[in-house]
């Protein structure tokens, strides 16, 4: 254990959550009190709530069960590492399932009212002026999930014990909003709602030294880079008559490159080309081969995911 | 035997990527880069095929 300075402590009771200002260099510990409890979590840039933790981006970078040594990322076009998972004594979290909602409990179980993560999150963050529309998909701490053979996500029971915890180190000032998942009629929290303990620590130098560097790129844009940086404050959508489309890199222009293949190269090509997809369209098959080769040789991340190693 | 010409159709973004790759010294020009890709891609598939044969499995080209 550590000599970190404790800045604040809370216990969040079943059916509740808590919005916490977590400043850069502070650590939020989410800890099991009795064991077996899922915590839903999201966070916002404390100085610009439009930047929030995005499960889709996080899932693409770190897979379905991010754990110790991974980051929580904000949504495009910000795409910054917001929090670093410094410690995780269990190693089983979920970014497949969205937060549970009132609709789920009414549609599937017949409840007129039931504790649910969307409404708990909304109520906790209302303390900072946010609305139910400002709840985003949650990073589900301690939630044990997987994917069936038919492609559906499933959840099962967890094996967490009292004292198990996840430590989240803030890499920017955030409003962190953990809540006690409201699911007591599902396996998520082993069919019971239990409290969770929250502790905020000041990170020490050793903690900060454990965070891998991530790239800073021009594509990580903020409102100063937006063509429209103004947050819309009314609800109806109306066309802007002054709008002129400015899609990047358009129009897309095709250039033809004549590639001469020797008989030996043609034989080589015919042996590996994806005839199953492109049929006799050799131009398309050769383009596929070219970029498939490029991915294999040069790509540092899974295809479609950003590389996060800093050069 | 005569050479066969395949007309590769690439957009400006795809060309930018292959030109940056060429600029790194991977190949001297676009034609050479495509040929290099073909040779390395085919060699990798052949090695995979041999491996699969040796382990009793055979998979199609990916």
Nearest CB among A252, A255, A294 relative to B21 is that of: A294
CB pairs under 8 A between A and B: 105
Q: Are residues A34 and A179 in the same domain?
A: yes
Vertex A77 angle, CA A75 and A78, to 5°: 65
Q: Are residues A173 and A92 in the same domain?
A: yes
Phi/psi at A87 (nearest 5 deg)?
A: -150, 145
Write the CA distances from A286 to A263, B8, B25, integer angstroms: 15, 7, 22
* Domain extent listing, chain B: 13-53
Q: Are residues A157 and A270 in the same domain?
A: no
Which residue in the block uniquely carries the two structure tokens 């077996």? Answer: A36
Shortest Cα–Cα distance, B18 to chain A (Å): 9
User: Which residues of B fall below an 8 Å CB-CB distance to A?
Assistant: 1, 3-15, 17-18, 21, 30-31, 33-35, 37-42, 44-45, 60-61
Nearest CB among B6, B12, B30 relative to A261 is that of: B6
Q: Are residues A53 and A198 in the same domain?
A: yes
Which chain B residues are closer than 8 Å to A290 by Cβ?
8, 18, 33-34, 37
Point out the domain boundary residue: A172, A194, A224.
A224
pLDDT at B56: 61
Distance, in Å, from the CA atom of A132 to the CA atom of A49, rounded to the nearest integer, reads 13
Q: Are residues A80 and A15 in the same domain?
A: yes
Q: Are residues A216 and A261 in the same domain?
A: no
Which chain A residues are closer than 8 Å to B21 by Cβ?
294, 298
Q: Would you call B7 and A273 a contact, using CB atoms and an 8 Å cutoff?
A: no
Q: Are residues A19 and A116 in the same domain?
A: yes
In the DSSP assignment, the letter for residue A50 is E
pLDDT values of chain A reduced to their tens digit, one per residue, 311 residues:
567 999 999 999 999 999 999 999 999 999 999 999 999 999 999 999 999 999 999 999 999 999 999 999 999 999 999 999 999 999 999 999 999 999 999 999 999 999 999 999 999 999 999 999 999 999 999 999 999 999 999 999 999 999 999 999 999 999 999 999 999 999 999 999 999 999 999 999 999 999 999 999 999 999 999 999 999 999 999 999 999 999 999 999 999 999 999 999 999 999 999 999 999 999 999 999 999 999 999 998 887 888 887 65
Report the number of secondary-structure helices (H) and strands (E) in chain B.
2, 1
Distance, in Å, from the CA atom of A28 to the CA atom of A241, rounded to the nearest integer, reads 47
Residue A34 located in a structural domain: yes
Q: Are residues A173 and A292 in the same domain?
A: no
Which chain B residues are closer than 8 Å to A281 by Cβ?
none
Q: Do A75 and A55 contact (CB within 8 A), yes or no?
A: no
Q: Are residues A123 and A188 in the same domain?
A: yes
- What's the whole-model pTM score? 0.91
A256 in contact with chain B, both atoms CB, cutoff 8 A: yes
Q: Which long-range contacts (CB under 8 A, 24 or more apart) does A69-72 make?
A: A69/A212, A71/A171, A71/A214, A71/A308, A72/A43, A72/A139, A72/A168
Residue A236 located in a structural domain: no
> Per the structure, how many domains does chain A have?
2
| Dihedral sign of CA atoms A266, A270, A271, A273 in order | positive
Shortest Cα–Cα distance, B57 to chain A (Å): 17
Query: In terms of CA atoms, which chain B residue is nearest residue A286?
Result: B8
Question: ipTM, 2 decimals?
Answer: 0.88
Q: Are residues A142 and A272 in the same domain?
A: no
Least Cα distance to A221 among A74, A121, A4 occurs for A74
Which chain B residues are closer than 8 Å to A274 by Cβ?
61
Residue A156 located in a structural domain: yes
Q: Do A187 and A42 contact (CB within 8 A), yes or no?
A: no
Which chain B residues are closer than 8 Å to A259 by Cβ?
5-8, 31, 34-35
A267 in contact with chain B, both atoms CB, cutoff 8 A: no
Residue A311 located in a structural domain: no
Nearest CB among A262, A276, A293 relative to B41 is that of: A293
Token pair in block for residue A17: 């959550």
pLDDT at B57: 53
Q: Are residues A42 and A149 in the same domain?
A: yes
Q: Tens of pLDDT along B12-58?
A: 999 999 999 999 999 999 999 999 999 999 999 998 887 777 776 54
Token pair in block for residue A149: 């053979």
A243 in contact with chain B, both atoms CB, cutoff 8 A: no
Distance, in Å, from the CA atom of A289 to the CA atom of B38, rounded to the nearest integer, reads 7
Residue B62: pLDDT above 60? no
Nearest CB among B4, B18, B40 relative to A261 is that of: B4
Q: Would you call A286 and B5 a contact, using CB atoms and an 8 Å cutoff?
A: no
pLDDT at A309: 75
Distance, in Å, from the CA atom of A14 to the CA atom of A18, rounded to the nearest integer, reads 11
The range of the structural domain enclosing residue A213 comes to: 5-224
Residue A238 located in a structural domain: no
Distance, in Å, from the CA atom of A209 to the CA atom of A211, rounded to the nearest integer, reads 6
Q: Do A189 and A40 contact (CB within 8 A), yes or no?
A: no
């Amino acid at each position: 254990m550590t000599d970190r300075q404790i800045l604040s402590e809370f216990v969040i009771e079943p059916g509740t959550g808590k919005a916490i200002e977590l400043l850069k260099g502070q650590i939020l510990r989410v800890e099991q009190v009795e064991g077996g409890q899922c915590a839903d979590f999201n966070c916002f840039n404390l100085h610009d709530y439009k930047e929030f933790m995005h499960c889709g981006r996080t899932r693409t970078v770190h897979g379905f069960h991010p754990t110790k040594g991974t980051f929580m990322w904000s949504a495009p076009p910000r795409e910054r590492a917001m929090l670093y998972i410094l410690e995780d004594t269990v190693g089983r979290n979920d970014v497949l399932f969205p937060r549970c909602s009132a609709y789920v409990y009414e549609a599937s179980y017949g409840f007129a009212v039931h504790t649910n993560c969307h409404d708990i999150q909304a109520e906790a963050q209302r303390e900072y002026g946010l609305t139910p529309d400002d709840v985003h998909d949650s990073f589900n701490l301690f939630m044990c999930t997987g994917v069936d053979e038919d492609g559906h996500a499933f959840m099962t029971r967890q094996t967490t014990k009292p004292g198990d915890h996840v430590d989240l180190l803030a890499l920017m000032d955030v409003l962190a909003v953990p809540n006690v998942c409201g699911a007591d009629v599902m396996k998520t929290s082993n069919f019971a709602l239990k409290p969770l303990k929250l502790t905020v620590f000041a990170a020490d130098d050793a903690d900060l030294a454990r965070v891998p560097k991530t790239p800073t790129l021009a594509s990580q844009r903020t409102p100063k880079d937006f063509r429209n940086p103004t947050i819309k404050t009314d609800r109806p959508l109306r066309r802007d008559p002054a709008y002129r489309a400015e899609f990047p890199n358009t129009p897309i222009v095709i250039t033809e490159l004549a590639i001469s293949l020797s008989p030996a190269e043609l034989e080589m090509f015919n042996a590996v080309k994806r005839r199953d997809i492109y049929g006799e369209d050799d131009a398309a098959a050769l383009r596929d081969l070219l970029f498939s080769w490029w991915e294999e040789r040069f790509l540092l991340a899974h295809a479609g995911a950003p590389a996060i190693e800093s050069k | 035997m005569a050479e066969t010409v395949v007309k590769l159709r690439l957009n400006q973004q795809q060309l930018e990527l292959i030109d940056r790759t060429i600029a790194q010294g991977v190949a001297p020009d676009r034609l050479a880069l495509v040929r290099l890709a073909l040779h390395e891609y085919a060699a990798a598939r052949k090695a995979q095929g041999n491996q699969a044969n040796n382990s009793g499995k055979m998979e199609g080209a990916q």
